[in-house]
């Protein structure tokens, strides 16, 4: 390889050195990018591990606080999926609204079942929506809001289309 290089003209030598230099820079740049990515992943893993260790260290305290909070809940006031829909209809009628309840789903844990439903009001008055929200907030911590979406109804000035995603906790015993 050495003889091949030294037998070339000065112009060919310069082109070969330029080509090898550019290839080296590209190779080093790619290696630097991979190294930066590797360091970022390592830091992310170390942070996640530290957070998990914190949760594990405080496990007894967290479980004691969860047990104390669960003991304060009245199982008769928790709502299953059917009672959640009935409760939303009752709250809406108190506020003077007619709801569309849909999208019901349930997620279960060892102690709780979380029932989610989507309550939609079309062409509603803002005052009635506030009354519905106030009635719903009185049911806390057994029923809560997860998401609220409000939009002005272009077909009816002064009316609002509202969607509430509500969650009810049911105590599993």
pLDDT, residue 173, reads 66
Of the ranges 13-17, 24-28, 76-80, the best mean pLDDT one:
24-28
pLDDT, residue 164, reads 94
Start-to-end C-alpha separation, the chain: 80
pLDDT in tens, 111-143: 788 899 999 999 999 999 999 999 999 988 889
pLDDT, residue 26, reads 96
pLDDT in tens, 90-104: 999 999 998 998 888
Token digits of residue 44: 């992310």
Task: Determine phi and psi for 72, rounding to 5 degrees.
Answer: -80, -15
The neighbour count for residue 96, using CB atoms within 10 Å, is: 12
State the chain's mean pLDDT as an integer.
90
DSSP structure class, residue 92: H
Percent of the chain with pLDDT over 70: 99
From 36-45, 49-58, 146-155, the region with the lowest mean pLDDT:
146-155
CA distance 46 to 139: 41
Token digits of residue 25: 């820079």
The neighbour count for residue 42, using CB atoms within 10 Å, is: 10
pLDDT, residue 56, reads 95
Architecture of domain 81-171: 2-Layer Sandwich (3.30)
pLDDT in tens, 56-108: 999 999 989 888 877 787 777 788 888 889 989 999 999 999 899 888 899 98
Could you give the strand order of the β-sheet that contains 100-108, starting from the edge strand earlier in sequence? 100-108, 112-124, 160-171, 143-152
pLDDT, residue 162, reads 94
Q: How far is CA 150 from CA 18, 159, 170, in A?
A: 63, 10, 28
Q: What is the mean pLDDT of residues 43-55?
A: 96
By C-alpha distance, which of 143, 141, 140 is closest to 119?
A: 143
By C-alpha distance, which of 145, 143, 138, 136 is closest to 163?
A: 145
pLDDT, residue 43, reads 96
CA distance 154 to 124: 12
Checking if the pLDDT of 46 tops 90, the result is yes
pTM comes to: 0.62
């Amino acid at each position: 390889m050495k003889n091949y290089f030294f037998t070339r003209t000065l112009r060919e030598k310069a082109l070969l050195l330029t080509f090898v230099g550019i290839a080296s820079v590209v190779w080093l740049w790619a290696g630097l990018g991979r190294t930066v990515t590797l360091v970022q992943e390592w830091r992310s893993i170390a942070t996640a591990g530290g957070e998990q260790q914190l949760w594990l260290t405080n496990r007894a305290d967290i479980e004691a606080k969860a047990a104390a909070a669960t003991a304060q809940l009245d199982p008769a006031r928790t709502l299953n999926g059917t009672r959640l829909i009935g409760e939303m209809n009752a709250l809406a009628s108190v506020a003077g609204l007619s709801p569309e309840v849909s999208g019901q789903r349930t997620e279960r844990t060892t102690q709780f079942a979380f029932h989610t439903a989507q309550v939609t009001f079309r062409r509603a008055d803002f005052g009635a929506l506030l009354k519905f929200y106030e009635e719903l907030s009185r049911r806390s911590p057994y029923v809560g809001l997860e998401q609220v979406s409000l939009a002005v109804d272009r077909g009816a000035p002064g009316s609002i289309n509202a969607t509430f995603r509500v969650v009810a906790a049911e105590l599993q015993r």
